Amino acid sequence: MSRSGARPDGTNDRPGSNDRPGSNDQAGSNDRPGSNDQAGSNDRPGSKGRPGSKGRPGPNEGTGWTVMSYLIGGMALYGGIGWLIGRWTGIAVLFPIGMLFGLGLALTLVVLRFGRP
């Protein structure tokens, strides 16, 4: 045997030398939290699976785009409906009223979905 305690098969005969996580053994090298494990990569604060969020999604990278699409989509949908009804009835003011109504509904949806409790 050599002075370092290493055996020819790669194991170590010194007691307690391979018991520490992060030592030269391969089994314990990724036992520390925050190491290169893939299971914990989505466990950051604000992710959708956050406990105690009452089923509401938390803020993430796409929240701004979602809010913007709700606002534009609400204005476009209800503005288009107002334009069609205004064209059919001859009342031109229904187009801007429909846009404002769609914007109000979209803002309500954004506050209900992403607002703080």
Q: Is pLDDT larger for residue 88 or for residue 117?
A: 88
Q: What residues are paired with 12 via a beta bridge?
A: 6
The whole-model pTM stands at 0.48
Q: Which residue type sits at 94?
A: L
Collapsing DSSP states into helix, strand and coil, what is residue 80?
helix
Q: How far is CA 110 from CA 2, 76, 79, 105, in A?
A: 69, 16, 18, 9
89 pLDDT exceeds 60?
yes
103 pLDDT exceeds 90?
yes
Token pair of 50 as six digits: 């956050």
Per-residue model confidence (pLDDT) at position 62: 85
What is the Cα–Cα distance from 39 to 37, expressed in whole angstroms?
A: 6
What is the Cα–Cα distance from 95 to 86, expressed in whole angstroms?
A: 7
Q: What is the pLDDT of residues 8-19, one digit of tens each?
A: 676 666 665 555
What is the Cα–Cα distance from 107 to 116, expressed in whole angstroms?
A: 14
Question: pLDDT band at residue 115, thresholds of 50, 70 and 90?
Answer: confident
Q: Mean pLDDT lowest for which of 6-10, 41-45, 72-76?
A: 41-45
